A and B are shown apart, each in its own frame.
Chain A
């Protein structure tokens, strides 16, 4: 069974950093494209970043490019999102998601972890 379990969310001050983790089980992380998606409570979904299967290429939404880094640790079968220079507008629930074996859409979702950026 595919499981994605996010952790690392919490309260951080503007300008601070946080690293989110996504522990994957039921599949091998290095075989799949992975995405991060965020959602401000009560609002819609926003795509944040994706990384390809072998972890060699990551792309980002304009709003986070240069501040966030999406990467994989294949030995730990864990996906990470390093978030630096956090802004109040980065406050959201962050979902770790997985694509299918052959395709680019989002197939599976974790339950999300809440990041709150506030002074």
Chain B
């Protein structure tokens, strides 16, 4: 079973700054089956990125995903006030899914 480790646990930044979130897998992920989600308090998560680097419908282009093998990154190029939230990565395949433990992006 693949384990996903996200870092840092908390990222304290100011609006306008660049956020770089890491998701590291315990084994190589095939087919780039890695997604990213944003969750705000009291809400369901929202899909941001799928297949490592594809933005979901309606997601602003300040969000981008990259990576391969065991190392994946979500980058937010300039934080907007609505971007302060918790972010999760998800590895998925035809049989199961595994989430990382999350990275909280809060206002510095």
Contact = CB atoms under 8 A, between A and B. Distances in A.
Query: Interface size class for chain B?
Result: 20 to 34
A45 B88 contact: yes
B29 interface: no
A50 B45 CA distance: 17
B99 to A, nearest CB: 4
Contacts of B95: 50, 59
A105 B55 CA distance: 13
Contacts of A62: 1
Query: Interface size class for chain A?
Result: 20 to 34
B97 A106 contact: yes
B88 A105 contact: no
Interface in B36-54: 37, 39, 44-47, 50-51
Contact of A109 (B46, B50, B97, B101): B46
Nearest to B95: A59
A45 B50 contact: no
A46 interface: yes
A47 B33 CA distance: 15
B108 interface: no
Given A44-B101, A47-B97, A95-B44, A106 B56 contact: no
A35 interface: yes
Interface in A79-119: 95, 100, 103-112
Interface of A: 35, 37, 44-47, 50, 59, 61-62, 95, 100, 103-112
